[in-house]
Amino acid sequence: MSFVLVFGLPVVVALYSNSNKRITENSTNMSKTVLITGTSTGFGKLITKTLAKEGHSVIATMRDVSGKNVAAAKELSALHNVEVVELDVTSDASVEKAIQNVIKKHGQIDVLVNNAGVVGFGLFEGTSVEQMKQVFEVNLFGIVRTYQAVLPSMRAQRSGLIINISSGLGIFATPFIVPYIMTKFGVEALTEGVRHEVKQYGIETVSILPGPFPTEITTKAGFGPDKSEVLAAYGPDVQRSFEQFGTTMVGKMEEYKVDSQLVADGVLALINMKAGTRPYQTSINPIAQEIEQPYTNSKLAIKTAWMEKMGWGAY
């Protein structure tokens, strides 16, 4: 668990995504080559270990493998079925180089798991655009970069699976984390829109929506309120509301004893499912008891009807 100082108060916080039920039917256990971003900590490291243990060939990518992440790189490199590769999702050149080198060595990438992410908490008005750009670079444009780097090879092989570790905050918005939520709504739009463009090539693009889990993402905050005059103008009432927001989140995680392994298991289940049977969005949120899942399921039915009425049903 990590502490982040916002509004001058130490508040324990964790990534709020959305949660996935275990999927076991229609599964296949054939080994696949899987590239995962952001594997130095949290979900990424757990996903790497889980998939490798199940026999998948895992390319675990992270930044600064010879520097601050050297310990994590050594730990994962020592595992059977795991290869660690340097990749910075904020760099076009880094993403392109890493993915092309992996394809050259392994022949193809069967699955891309976009996990790299940063978070930040605070008052929207008190946060500058420059601060917000940092979280967009990782959470949204980082995924744009990996999509555009891997799709040509997936189209050529006429198969592929892209799993985006999104968030329950990609379908519902709350206060005090608005810029982060904006990126996750963007991820959901990307996932949903591109799905129609690539399905004719046998490529599936889906998302996992985790709820709050105690991961290390809070140590990689991508933005924070930096306009002190705005924070002062809002006064102590907003500060107390923010404190309650963080306290409630932490209390719920402790009450439900949430386990981040659920997200790793959800990724494994999706990979092992037969092509064409995977749900587009999967909720993994023990706290909300997966209440997001019927919402996303109903949205899909409405979207399908809307596409047909608009004359776009063939896409």
Active site residue 147: no
Q: What is the mean predicted confidence (pLDDT) over 2-9?
A: 32
Is-contact 39 47, C-beta < 8 A?
Answer: yes
* DSSP of 24-50: -TTB-----EEEES--SSHHHHHHHHH
Rg from Cα positions in the chain: 19
pLDDT at 79 over 60: yes
Dihedral angle at the C-alpha atoms of 163, 164, 168, 171, nearest 10 degrees?
-100
| Sequence letter at residue 248 | T
Summarised one tens digit per residue, pLDDT across range 43-69 is 999 999 999 999 999 999 999 999 999
Distances (CA, A) of 295 to 60, 222, 288: 33, 29, 12
Give CA angle at 170 (97, 33), nearest 5°.
35
Catalytic residue among 16, 147, 180, 295: 180
Mean pLDDT over the full length of the chain: 89
Q: What does the pLDDT look like over 141-175, one tens digit per residue?
A: 999 999 999 999 999 999 999 999 999 999 999 99
Give yes or no for residue 218 having a pLDDT over 70. no
In order of 124, 126, 219, the CA distances from 129 in angstroms are 10, 10, 21
Instruction: Kindly indicate the confidence band of residue 215, based on its pLDDT and cuts at 50, 70 and 90.
Output: confident
36 pLDDT higher than 80: yes
Q: Provide the whole-model pTM.
A: 0.90
CA–CA distance, 57 with 237 (Å, rounded to integer): 51
Dig out the tokens for 136 from the structure: 């967009």
Confidence bin at 214 (pLDDT 50/70/90): confident
Residue 217's pLDDT is what? 58
* 23 residue type, one letter: I
Domains assigned to the chain: 2-309 (3.40.50.720)
| Tens of pLDDT, residues 253-289 | 999 999 999 999 999 999 999 999 999 999 999 999 9
pLDDT digit string (tens) for 62-78? 999 999 999 999 999 99
Helix (H) / strand (E) containing 10: strand 9-13
Residue 86 pLDDT more than 80? Answer: yes
pLDDT bin (cut points 50, 70, 90) of residue 16 is: very low
Has residue 40 got a pLDDT over 50?
Answer: yes
Do the Cβ atoms of 95 and 87 come closer than 8 Å?
yes
Coil, strand or helix: which one is 233?
A: helix
What is the DSSP secondary structure assignment for residue 182, as one 8-state letter? H
